[in-house]
Amino acid sequence: MRLSRLFVPTLREDPAEAEIASHRLLLRAAFVRKVTAGVYTTLPMGARTMRKIEAIVREEMDATGSQPIRMPIVLPVEPWKRTGRWEVYGDEAFKLADRHGREMILGPTEEEVVAPLVAAENPSYRDLPMNLYQVEWKYRDERRPRFGLLRAREFLMKDAYSFDRDEEGLRESYRVMYEAYVRVFDRCGLEVVIVEADPGSIGGDVNHEFLAVAEVGEDLFVRCRNGDYLADIEAATPAPPPASDEAAEPLVEVDTPGAATIEIVSEQLGVAPERTLKSIMFDVDGRVVAVLVPGDREVSEKKLARLHFPAVVRRFEDEDFATRGYAKGYVGPQAFAEDVVVFADPSVRAGANWVTGANRFDTHVTGATLDRDFRVDRWDDLVEIRTGDRCPLDGGELEVGRGIVAGHIYQLGTKYSGPLDATFQDEDGTLKPLIMGSYGIGISRIMAAVVEQSHDEGGIVWPKALAPFEVVVVLANADDEAIRAEAERIYSALGGCGTEAVLDDRPERAGVKFADADLIGYPIQVVVGKRGFERGEAEFKVRATGERSVAPLGDAVDAAVALLATAP
Amino acid sequence: MRLSRLFVPTLREDPAEAEIASHRLLLRAAFVRKVTAGVYTTLPMGARTMRKIEAIVREEMDATGSQPIRMPIVLPVEPWKRTGRWEVYGDEAFKLADRHGREMILGPTEEEVVAPLVAAENPSYRDLPMNLYQVEWKYRDERRPRFGLLRAREFLMKDAYSFDRDEEGLRESYRVMYEAYVRVFDRCGLEVVIVEADPGSIGGDVNHEFLAVAEVGEDLFVRCRNGDYLADIEAATPAPPPASDEAAEPLVEVDTPGAATIEIVSEQLGVAPERTLKSIMFDVDGRVVAVLVPGDREVSEKKLARLHFPAVVRRFEDEDFATRGYAKGYVGPQAFAEDVVVFADPSVRAGANWVTGANRFDTHVTGATLDRDFRVDRWDDLVEIRTGDRCPLDGGELEVGRGIVAGHIYQLGTKYSGPLDATFQDEDGTLKPLIMGSYGIGISRIMAAVVEQSHDEGGIVWPKALAPFEVVVVLANADDEAIRAEAERIYSALGGCGTEAVLDDRPERAGVKFADADLIGYPIQVVVGKRGFERGEAEFKVRATGERSVAPLGDAVDAAVALLATAP
């Protein structure tokens, strides 16, 4: 291809609307253009990269035996009402009525289509397991679309659905897909972490998120810097710090006027926040629950709620303190009545001689000591994890990371097949609900996530598997016929040996072409310009490393191919 | 692939909803399933054939230099209001509002997206010509979806858009696309006729329809059986029959009580309808126009309207006959006043001694003779053409055919770039509207059209370029291990030599497998069954011809490949 004949309107300036790198660079490098909020056109460069991602996904799906189909986008709503998702999605789904006033929905995911599709053919156990997939645009009417392709209202997904006889079959189908997902992200050059996660609006029992590690990600995860531990932020449990061997001091009351927060009391008494003890008060279905954590830690309400599920966990409000007689800001565990359930995080064992509330306004105590001055009814991991916590496996340092959900897989069981009456005939002749799994990969999202992980000040740095072209031949002096002929020759020869090359033959200054080559992010740049030409040389740049080299013009094709072979 | 692992739920019975062959067979052969009116899921077999059609279309587009992009489906409405198509489409477009109440439209075609896309980059004349295409699902909320994929509400289209400096450039872009379309349909094995046609809701000056010849088509065309003439039904002009040399007889009045129609007067007087002369009366902007045609012909009101455009042509109603003093059913041209404009079709010259109305109720005349008894002010082609008319080029027999619109291309000029202010900077620095063309191919529609052209009582007969698999290996006796091993061997070897083979290894009776092989329509069937196996032979059937043959098992792969090579 020749850039002079391609629609690649790169931008010199950063678009004002773009807050993050992938959004900014995919606009600047002319991969996409915005049509309206959260809705983008894919330009020729973007279309090439998207098709490469799609091809990788399809190959890996085909290799699992999953079968490509294609389901509609405009859907009747009845199945969505039966599964309850018409309500669950609410305004997040695009809803419309056809000319006859029949309600329809633009598919945000397609369990409600695929389960009736399979069930309508009266499958037998002999037809299972079965796995169907499609690559199709999906729709979510995000309240606030932003971050370009990362939170778009129209996005390209691969969605697959497995159908099994039983849970054991589901687990096997799930395992096969899990491994295919690992291969997909590996081939796309995307660094992902895999965590068990919140099932969200899809539901089911077991599910895993494939998070592309990126600062701009909306999902948090925790991992050990030694690489042996990884979890969703809500599921992560740090190793408890070693227990304190400090000798107990006496319990002494001190005046702390107006010190209703950890910050103020620390400052007034000149102690570090981690030497103070917080008692965070909750109402759990009417019962009072106190959670003790060091003053520098936060209680994870999600962990507490999970512990008490299905009871409703509610943090004390001002009124609760008042009516139940607790001195808000000065609560200490020393005076808890018998019917208060006292939880503590294991980190409380690591401290001693705590500064804590005296259960009177403007007063704290020092020297509060476990078992002597206060009791704990139950020890449980209840802190929000943070970078610097210790790994439960090897004691290494944990770090909290952020990731972009690039894939999400679910063991659904009968969550959809139940309400949709999607059954199969088992060997004994009875009808049983199909046991389903659901497996999504965001294809347009992968394109953005790769850019988040792989860019620099100059622009995008594509892994070669996803680059729109593998090599750009930059014709630096377009008005010199001999140089042009040489660039054309190298460009043609690269194509002839199966390399995806593009020739930058535009009537632009060399500087513009170099900047665009960096911006668009072709893995290898071959420069044919006046200076090198006079020496009989072509110049090369490996985009990922910035490494430059030269080779005789006659060897330029071999040199480019060799550089490409070792490029990431 | 193995049919035992593919989701191919063929149907034994004809689905009640299917009125036409493609609808019936694509359901029965498990290429598609209906989700709701006019909305279909594509099953694995259908997905394979659709992807082959898409691949052919993409290859031919790429070969023209057209660039693949991808535009959104959910679109903002402002550009549609500017071009007036928000009104033109009316209820035929799917319209919706997002969560913020902003109106949106599901793209029925995308001139309103692509013109602003290109114009936003401030193109210069040096960037032109440019041609962008996409393959994407389109939406039309048909009042009465029917005929399966032929009149669906969601359908897959390739749409391309050309941008030129001037009309000459447009004509060249159009020519290139026209030729690419010819190649696409040829490769798809689809017999098409190409006619100039009504521009419909897309508009523009010049346009051509590519009609797939089929009885169920909704568009009429006319062609000479000798192959030298082809036209849209409204544009076709038959050769006038030779002028009559019959001697004129006297004009005689005859009683024809109650004979206000050609049928009755023909019967009463014992003359053929083509010996009678009809005077069909119109009001054209207040002026009386009479059109004379032989009694067995119909006046083409569209041709008459085109002649008088922009005047409004209205056929006489009962009231017009009464107030203007014409004896309805008994009008003859003998007494027309000076201010009546008398048109006649050239076929009137071919008759003589006409039976026509006497301008009194219950009375006709015989022997009415041109120039002696009545005048003609203007001769023009004004009859509805019919099979049996003569070709204007060679006098051969014309036939009226029906076709399915499989492609439609348009020279749009500034029809969209004008209202959308989509301009480019010309060499002289001025901004000028982009000169556009628009080019559509119905990909899902091609799948149905091919089935309409290529099926028999047993099912579909796919041309090999579109068949979901080229060869089926039918394992007729699945419980015999030796036979199974031989079928597996042949199946694997076919794959090994690059043939797309599928193995029917389902635990079904041989009869079911034969019926399914015919129904699905693989070009070549290889049967490995007990009888042949004992003789050391495989059996072959060419689906298109029904031709059967045998070959030694050892030669089965070569035999199948050879049969495939010569199959259509």
HEC profile of A66-87: CEECECCCEEECHHHHHHCHHH
Cβ neighbours, 10 Å, residue B218:
13
Which residues in B lie closer than 8 A to residue A41 (C-beta atoms)? 69-72, 113, 117
| Domain B3-71+108-235+401-451 CATH assignment equals 3.40.50.300 | no
Token code pair at residue B516: 């399914």
Best mutation site among B11, B13, B32, B35 for testing chain A: the one with the most A CBs within 10 Å?
A: B35
Asked if B235 is an interface residue toward chain A (Cβ–Cβ < 8 A), one would say no
Q: Give the closest-approach CA distance of B142 to chain A in angstroms.
A: 8
**CA-angle at B174, arms to B173 and B175, nearest 5°:** 95
Could you give the angle at which helices A44-64 and A443-453 cross, rounded to 10 degrees?
Answer: 110
| CB spacing of B154 vs A36 below 8 angstroms | no
Per-residue pLDDT, B305: 87
| CB spacing of B39 vs A70 below 8 angstroms | no
Per-residue pLDDT, A515: 98
Amino acid at A82: R
Question: Is residue A141 within 8 Å of residue A91, measured between CB atoms?
Answer: yes
Question: Is residue B438 within 8 Å of residue B412, measured between CB atoms?
Answer: yes
Chain B's closest residue to A71, CA to CA, is B41
Rg of chain B over all Cα atoms, to the nearest angstrom: 30
Residues ≥6 apart with Cβ < 8 Å to A370: A348, A349, A352, A376
Which residues in A lie closer than 8 A to residue B6 (C-beta atoms)? 67
If you average pLDDT over residues B404-430, what whole number do you get? 96
pLDDT tens per residue, range B217-273? 988 999 999 888 888 887 788 898 889 999 999 999 999 999 999 999 999 999 999
Q: Do domains B3-71+108-235+401-451 and B252-379 have the same CATH topology?
A: no
Compute the distance between CA of residue B31 and CA of residue B17 in angstroms, rounded to an integer.
16
Residues ≥6 apart with Cβ < 8 Å to A114: A71, A132, A161
| CB spacing of B117 vs A44 below 8 angstroms | no
Per-residue pLDDT, B233: 84
Token code pair at residue A43: 């330009």
Best mutation site among B70, B103, B113, B125 for testing chain A: the one with the most A CBs within 10 Å?
A: B70
Which residues in B lie closer than 8 A to residue A38 (C-beta atoms)? none
The structure tokens 């691969």 sit at: A158
Beta bridge partners of residue B502, listed in sequence order: B472
What does B275-335 look like in DSSP terms, one character per residue?
A: GBEEEEEEEETTEEEEEEEETT--B-HHHHHHHHTTSPEEE--HHHHHHHT--TT---GGG
Q: What are phi and psi of B330, to 5 degrees?
A: -135, 25
Handedness of CA A17, A20, A23, A24 (dihedral sign): positive
Q: Find, among B91, B111, B30, B99, the residue nearest to B440 by Cα.
A: B111
Compute the distance between CA of residue B40 and CA of residue B137 in angstroms, rounded to an integer.
12
Compute the distance between CA of residue B449 and CA of residue B184 in angstroms, rounded to an integer.
14
Which residues in B lie closer than 8 A to residue A40 (C-beta atoms)? 72
What does B456-476 look like in DSSP terms, one character per residue?
A: ETTEE---TTT-S-SEEEEES
Q: Collect contacts of B455-460 with beta carbons under 8 A, ≥24 apart.
A: B455/B21, B455/B22, B455/B25, B455/B521, B458/B515, B458/B518, B458/B519, B459/B25, B459/B28, B459/B29, B459/B518, B459/B519, B459/B520, B459/B521, B460/B25, B460/B26, B460/B29, B460/B519, B460/B520, B460/B521
Closest partner CB to B68 (pick from A47, A99, A104): A47
Q: What is the DSSP letter of A146?
A: B
| CATH H-level, domain A3-71+110-235+401-451: superfamily | Bira Bifunctional Protein; Domain 2 (3.30.930.10)
What does B229-286 look like in DSSP terms, one character per residue?
A: -EEETTT--PBPPPPP-PPPPPPEEEE-TT--SHHHHHHHHT--GGGBEEEEEEEETT
Per-residue pLDDT, B251: 96
Q: Find, among B386, B267, B256, the residue nearest to B332 by Cα.
A: B256
Residues ≥6 apart with Cβ < 8 Å to A250: A367
What does A87-106 look like in DSSP terms, one character per residue?
A: HHHGGGS-EEE-TT--EEEE
Beta bridge partners of residue B192, listed in sequence order: B212
Cβ neighbours, 10 Å, residue A225:
13
Token code pair at residue A112: 């409600």
Burial grade of B81 (CB within 10 A; 0-12, 13-18, 19 or more): middle
Asked if A272 is an interface residue toward chain B (Cβ–Cβ < 8 A), one would say no
Token code pair at residue B465: 């370029």
Per-residue pLDDT, B202: 61
Helix H, strand E, coil C: the string for A153-180 is: CEEEEEEEEEEECCHHHHHHHHHHHHHH
Question: Is residue B172 within 8 Å of residue B180, measured between CB atoms?
Answer: no
* Pick from A373-387, B196-210, B341-355: least confident: B196-210
Per-residue pLDDT, A231: 84
Helix H, strand E, coil C: the string for B394-419 is: CCCEEEEEEEEEEEEEEEEECCCCCC
What does B62-123 look like in DSSP terms, one character per residue?
A: HHHT-EE-B--SEEESHHHHHHTHHHHHGGGS-EEE-TT--EEEE-SS-HHHHHHHHHTT--
Question: Is residue A224 within 8 Å of residue A393, measured between CB atoms?
Answer: yes
Q: Find, among A495, A509, A510, the residue nearest to A560 by Cα.
A: A495
Residues ≥6 apart with Cβ < 8 Å to A535: none
User: Alpha-carbon dihedral of residues B382, B383, B387, B392, nearest 10 degrees?
Assistant: -30
Question: Is residue B197 within 8 Å of residue B208, measured between CB atoms?
Answer: yes
Q: What are phi and psi of B277, to 5 degrees?
A: -125, 125
pLDDT, mean of each 10-residue run, chain A (568 residues) = 96 93 98 97 98 98 98 97 94 95 96 98 96 98 93 97 97 97 97 80 77 93 89 84 92 95 95 96 96 96 86 94 95 95 95 96 96 96 93 92 95 96 97 98 98 98 98 94 96 96 96 98 97 96 97 97 95
Per-residue pLDDT, A206: 84
Token code pair at residue A242: 């070693």
Compute the distance between CA of residue A516 and CA of residue A413 in angstroms, rounded to an integer.
50
Per-residue pLDDT, B309: 78
CATH of A469-566, one of 2.30.30.90, 3.40.50.800, 3.40.50.12280, 3.30.70.20: 3.40.50.800
Per-residue pLDDT, A307: 86
Q: Where are the domains of chain A?
A: 3-71+110-235+401-451, 252-379, 469-566
Which residues in A lie closer than 8 A to residue B73 (C-beta atoms)? 73, 137, 154
Question: Is residue B162 within 8 Å of residue B172, measured between CB atoms?
Answer: no
Beta bridge partners of residue B379, listed in sequence order: B344
Segment 68-107 of chain A within 8 Å of chain B by CB: 68-76, 91-92, 94-96, 98-99, 104, 106
Question: Is residue B367 within 8 Å of residue B400, measured between CB atoms?
Answer: no
Confidence of residue B175 (pLDDT cuts 50, 70, 90): very high
Q: Give the closest-approach CA distance of B36 to chain A in angstroms.
A: 7
Compute the distance between CA of residue A292 and CA of residue A92 in angstroms, rounded to an integer.
39
pLDDT tens per residue, range B286-305? 999 999 999 999 999 988 98
Token code pair at residue B403: 């076709």
Closest partner CB to B98 (pick from A126, A127, A141): A141
Question: Is residue A147 within 8 Å of residue A23, measured between CB atoms?
Answer: yes
Which residues in A lie closer than 8 A to residue B153 (C-beta atoms)? 74, 98
| CATH number belonging to domain A252-379 | 3.90.960.10
| CB spacing of B35 vs A71 below 8 angstroms | yes
Is 0.90 topped by the overall pTM?
no
Asked if A36 is an interface residue toward chain B (Cβ–Cβ < 8 A), one would say yes
Confidence of residue B534 (pLDDT cuts 50, 70, 90): very high
Per-residue pLDDT, B302: 86
Chain B's closest residue to A90, CA to CA, is B99
Per-residue pLDDT, A249: 95
Closest partner CB to B7 (pick from A50, A126, A130): A130
Residue B201 has pLDDT above 60, yes or no: no
Question: Is residue A544 within 8 Å of residue A564, measured between CB atoms?
Answer: no
Compute the distance between CA of residue B352 and CA of residue B370 in angstroms, rounded to an integer.
8
Asked if A378 is an interface residue toward chain B (Cβ–Cβ < 8 A), one would say no
ipTM of this predicted complex?
0.88
